[in-house]
Copies of this chain bind each other. A is one copy, B any other.
Amino acid sequence: MTGDAVSERRRPGGRSARVVAAVHQATLEILAEVGYAGLQLTDVADRAGVNKTTVYRRWSTKAALIGDILTRFARTNVATPDTGSLRGDLELLLSGIVEALGDRAIRAVVQAAVTVDVAEDDVRRARAAFWDERFLRSGVIVERAVARGELPSTTDVREFLETAASPLYFRILMTDDVADAAYVAAVAERTVRAFAGV
C-alpha cells in the first residue's frame, strides 16, 4: 500500500487524478440520491470502484470529502453576469444560486458545509476558500456598478453580495419557502436600495 501511495504522488495526472474524479462523481451521485445524512464512505468506494482503503487514506471522514468537493467547486468557472445594469446582473446571479441549489447534490454539499464542526479545520479552510473565491468572482458585478455610478465607491463588495444572496440561502436551506423569480427580483431591488439609497 505504501507503493500504491507513492505511485499516486508521482503521477498526479494519472491514477490519482482518476481516483479523485471517480470518488467525487460517486459522492455527488450518492448525495443526489440520499443526501448528506445517508452518505457513507464505504458506499462511495463501491460506487467509484475504488478500494475502500484508498478512500479512507485520502478522505478520513465524510466532511473531508465535502471539503474536497467544495475546493473543486471553488475552482469551477462560473460565468459572471454582464447585462449592463446592476439590477440585471444581480437578478441573473441570484437566479443562478437558486438554480444551483435546486440540484440536490449541490444542495447536499452546501448543507453539509453548514454543519462543519469547529474542530474540522481542513474543511473550514476549504469552505472559507470556496466563499472567498465565489465573492471574488461575483464582485466584478459590484465593481462595474460602482464604475457606472450605480453604487457609491465606498460599497463593501462582500457585504453587498452577502446581503443579496443570504435571503435566498435562507429560504432554500432554512425555511423551505418559495424562492421564485418574483422573490429574486424583490431581493435584488431591495439590495440595490439598501446600498445605493435609490
Can you tell how many copies of this chain the complex includes? Answer: 2
Is A115 a contact partner of B35 (Cβ separation < 8 A)? yes
> What is the CA–CA distance of A86 and B31 in the complex, to the nearest angstrom?
43
| Max chain B C-beta neighbours (<10 A), residue from A35, A104, A190 | A190
Count of interface residues, chain A, beta-carbon cutoff 8 Å: 39
Is A122 interfacial (CB 8 A cutoff)? Answer: no
A167-B175 contact, Cβ under 8 Å, with A190-B195, A195-B190? no
Q: Which residues of B contact A175 (CB under 8 A)?
A: 127-128, 131, 162
23 CB contacts below 8 A, A to B, read A35-B118, A37-B115, A37-B117, A104-B118, A110-B174, A111-B115, A112-B115, A114-B173, A114-B174, A124-B176, A128-B175, A131-B174, A162-B170, A162-B175, A163-B167, A163-B187, A165-B170, A166-B166, A166-B169, A166-B170, A170-B170, A191-B194, A194-B194
Known: A193-B193, A193-B194. 17 other contacts (CB 8 A): A35-B115, A35-B118, A36-B115, A37-B115, A114-B174, A127-B175, A127-B176, A128-B175, A128-B176, A131-B174, A131-B175, A162-B170, A162-B175, A163-B190, A166-B169, A166-B174, A190-B194
